[in-house]
Amino acid sequence: MIAVDDWPFPGDPNQYVGALHHTVPRFYMENWVDSDHNVLVIEKPSGRRYPARPKNIGAETDFYTYIDLEGKPAGHLEQALGQLEAAAASAIGRINHPVFGVFPPPPDDKQAIATLMAFQKVRGKRHRREIEQHTDFLAKVQVSGLDREGIERLLTDRAGEVTDEGIAQMEEMVANLEEYEFVPDPNEHLRMLGSLSFEIFKRLMRRYWYLAEFSTPALITCDEPVLLYKQNPSPHRGYGVADADEVWFPLNPRLLLILAREPSPLPLKFAAPADFAELVNHYVMHHAYQLIFAHPEHAGGGARHATRRPPDAGTRARISFRCRVQQAAEVAAYPAAQQTLTTSFRGGNELQPGGSTGTTGEECSWRRYSSPERSSSVYSSIPRMSMRRMCRHSCGSTRSSG
């Protein structure tokens, strides 16, 4: 176990608290900039297009800031991500060089690139939204259809007491579950990053690495640039990194990194036809969550936006669970560092990585749009938590209001 005082990276990690955090590395987006240092941004699903500087794209304040056990914001994860991005930038730069580009990369460079790809697969807004939707479903399953007797048992078990007011509030919530959304705190997403990315990292390093080179700048990218390709996907189930035939990662408008499950008769670096770029761009548009990126001068028809709308929280209430991370080490753990950092979590009871929330000592926050003035006492029973009011703005951000 590594204490915060033993954090292996230089500098003050809390300088990142209150700062903009990029879910896509800035160095990566800079491979698509023009002479004015702008990249073309296409919003999904609206199709709105505009040029922007990489530092202004896809950034959200405190996206990787977590709350530690002392209730204080901590910026260790953003600092660790900056370190692995720097290593990956150097490794990708040695491939991208127009004259002295090297492929296949040496083992250390492979490790750095695979680490970036592994984290990129789980660090973004899509994965956080998926966790929110799963939590919402499971929480509603637990309380859906409860009658008065069931509500009394639940309040007794979790709140320790039963009041007529609490039962009435609980009955009203159970009767109108679709007006609410149960949302885990961002800490829940952040504490998973180390373990999830390490599993992805191992699978990426076992694959066969190839580089497709296009004669003209033809590739676009997006806010979810690690693409999964399967030639014959099943109509009944999805597929992930483990069973995808290939994992694609556009390095710049001319180069596509391909990680294949099986060896190919093609050379490790090969000239790719133009129609292959169309297929890759199709996958880019499909994988994009909110933003597609292209070089402003050669986006062409490849930057057509997809029309499927990303998941949206709508106007339902948000009931948010907060778990506190005991140490900075676990949320910032990444597999290709000098060591794998591990620790445990605490939310009243001890929580190991991958454990469930809902134990004594966590916090839950809620807001009901139709009646925000209602008492929040009853909601501390789902699970046993203290309560705080939250404000949810139209942009989708959430902040505490006391």
pLDDT above 50 (res 380) = no
* Average pLDDT for the chain: 75
Q: Which residue has the tokens 């560092």?
A: 337
Bridge partners of 150, per DSSP, are: none
Q: What percent of the chain has pLDDT over 90?
A: 41
Give residue 306's pLDDT.
37
Reported as type and span, the H/E element at residue 139 is helix 125-143
Bridge partners of 181, per DSSP, are: 318
* pLDDT tier for residue 235 given thresholds of 50, 70 and 90: confident
Distance CA 247, CA 257 (A): 8
Sign of the Cα torsion 146, 149, 153, 159 reads positive
* pLDDT tier for residue 338 given thresholds of 50, 70 and 90: very low
Q: Which residue has the tokens 């099986």?
A: 262
Q: How far apart are the first and last CA of the chain?
A: 34
pLDDT above 50 (res 239) = yes
In 253-397, beta strands by DSSP E: 255-260, 269-272, 291-294, 317-322, 345-347, 349-351, 363-367, 386-392
304: number of Cβ within 10 Å = 15
Question: What is the mean pLDDT of the segment spanning 249-266?
Answer: 94
Which tokens sit at 182?
């149960």
Give residue 348's pLDDT.
26
308: number of Cβ within 10 Å = 10
pLDDT above 80 (res 120) = yes
pLDDT above 50 (res 389) = no
Give residue 171's pLDDT.
85
Q: Are 331 and 66 in contact (CB under 8 A)?
A: yes
Q: What is the CA radius of gyration of the chain?
A: 23
Q: Write out the DSSP string of 44-63.
A: TTT--EEEE-GGGSSEEETT
Give residue 236's pLDDT.
83
* pLDDT tens, position by position, 73-98: 988 899 999 999 999 999 999 999 88
Question: What is the mean pLDDT of the segment spanning 217-228?
Answer: 95
pLDDT above 70 (res 151) = yes
Give residue 69's pLDDT.
81
Q: Exposure of 22 by Cβ count < 10 A (0-12 exposed, 13-18 middle, 19+ buried)?
A: buried
Highest mean pLDDT among 66-70, 199-203, 398-402: 199-203
Instruction: List Cβ neighbours of 238 (8 Å cut-off, separation of 6 or more).
Output: none
* pLDDT tier for residue 317 given thresholds of 50, 70 and 90: low
pLDDT above 90 (res 24) = yes
* pLDDT tens, position by position, 282-300: 999 989 999 999 999 875 5
Give residue 18's pLDDT.
87
pLDDT above 70 (res 169) = yes
pLDDT above 70 (res 379) = no
363 versus 148: the higher-pLDDT residue is: 148
Helix (H), strand (E) counts: the chain: 10, 20
Amino acid at 254: R
Distance CA 202, CA 204 (A): 6
179: number of Cβ within 10 Å = 16
The gap from C-alpha 398 to its chain's centroid, in whole angstroms, comes to 16
